[in-house]
Amino acid sequence: MFTILDRYILKRYLITFMGMLLLFVPIGIMANLAEKIGKIIDNEAPLAEVIVFYGNFTLVIGNLLLPIFLFLSIIFFTSKLASNTEIVAILSSGVSFWRFLRPYFVGATLVAILIFMMGMFIVPHASIGFNEFEYKYFKKGKQTRVTENIFNQLNEQDYIYVSSFDPNRQIGYNFTYEHFDSIGKLDYKISASNIRWVEDDSIYRLTNYEKRTVRNETEYINSKRRLDTVFSFQIDDLTPVSYVAETKNLFELNDFIEDQRRKGASNINAYVLVKYKRWALPIAAFILTVIAVAVSSVKRRGGMGLNLAFGIGVAFVYIFFDKVFGTLAEQSGFSPLLAVVIPNLFFGVFAVYMLMKAKR
């Protein structure tokens, strides 16, 4: 049952958190607009698309920074409680430190639910428009896919490979298509110097086509200078765009990862990392809440300024750890699960230490 104390702290918690969002999100929008306004004008981006982009920008960037905003807002209002000796009065009235923390954990739970729902179902939809606008107007000509040594398993019997892929021209080089029979024996193999998707005719055009068919230990070869044909796969199946995992909700992402794992995708770690980060963000809300309360609940000579400086420092270290381990998982064989767990585990231990110190 909520007491007057619970309602008081929870109200301050949520109001300060919303105020932090209303303060920093517009600043983020203006900073991004100031940086990108030249490209928007040069590329003649329609006003309606720009407005939609910044709506999506608010959701995508805001969701990533929600735990940080939460952290800073708790430091801000708890420092004010401490400077007004309200915390001393609360604890002196017989309320234990653990009881004092209850409304903070209730608030953290509400914010964690918000982060979870946004990250799993709302932000993925916004990410589609956000990334499409970015690559359409801000990152023209930049590589957004894995384009070298692409291997893909279409199903249990069919495999394709290209040594390189040009997504702008929709052409793959040194193409190979292998089909195996039900017992795993090679049935036929198609190779070509390149494969091009002809959108107007909805066909694939193979150059220097060669098909080797194996029948009873005998190999038959059929070759042509050029062949127009159809395949069961889409040209984009060769390699999805780099941000594809960000655009899928919880259920779509699980199915997509399983599909890419079955196909033997080389960049599967990047997709798994996105999945784990979505689960880690709500947990981070609790960890950062504990650290923020522990730091700001003690009255210090430096006051709120010192607490906020410490909080900003912790936030930067948290982001640094997240980026370093995330890059390791994407660019090497480092486990995506460890890349997410290690920063949260480190700050979780730090949170417990700071809490025990503040309690004493």
Q: For the beta carbon of residue 180, count every other beta carbon within 10 angstroms.
A: 15
How do residues 200-236 score in pLDDT, each as one tens digit?
A: 888 999 999 999 998 877 888 899 999 999 988 877 6
Nearest to 358, CA basis, from 304, 291, 301: 291
The SS3 call for residue 94 is coil
**Dihedral of CA 222/224/230/231: which sign?**
positive
> In this predicted structure, what is the pLDDT of residue 316?
84
Residue 153, Cβ density class (10 Å: 0-12 exposed, 13-18 middle, ≥19 buried): middle
CA-to-CA separations, 101 to 14, 247, 359, in angstroms, rounded: 15, 36, 11
> In this predicted structure, what is the pLDDT of residue 278?
93
Tokens of 64: 């990533």
How far is residue 76's CA from residue 229's CA, in Å, rounded to a whole number? 65
Look-up of token digits 């040194």: 174
pTM, entire model: 0.81
> In this predicted structure, what is the pLDDT of residue 29?
92
> In this predicted structure, what is the pLDDT of residue 260?
82
Instruction: Using 50 as the pLDDT threshold, list the residues of the chain that sit under it.
Output: none
> In this predicted structure, what is the pLDDT of residue 261?
84
Alpha helices by DSSP H, listed for 208-302, are 250-263, 268-296
How far is residue 15's CA from residue 80's CA, in Å, rounded to a whole number? 14
Tokens of 270: 């990047």
> In this predicted structure, what is the pLDDT of residue 116?
94
Q: Quote the DSSP letter at residue 265.
A: -
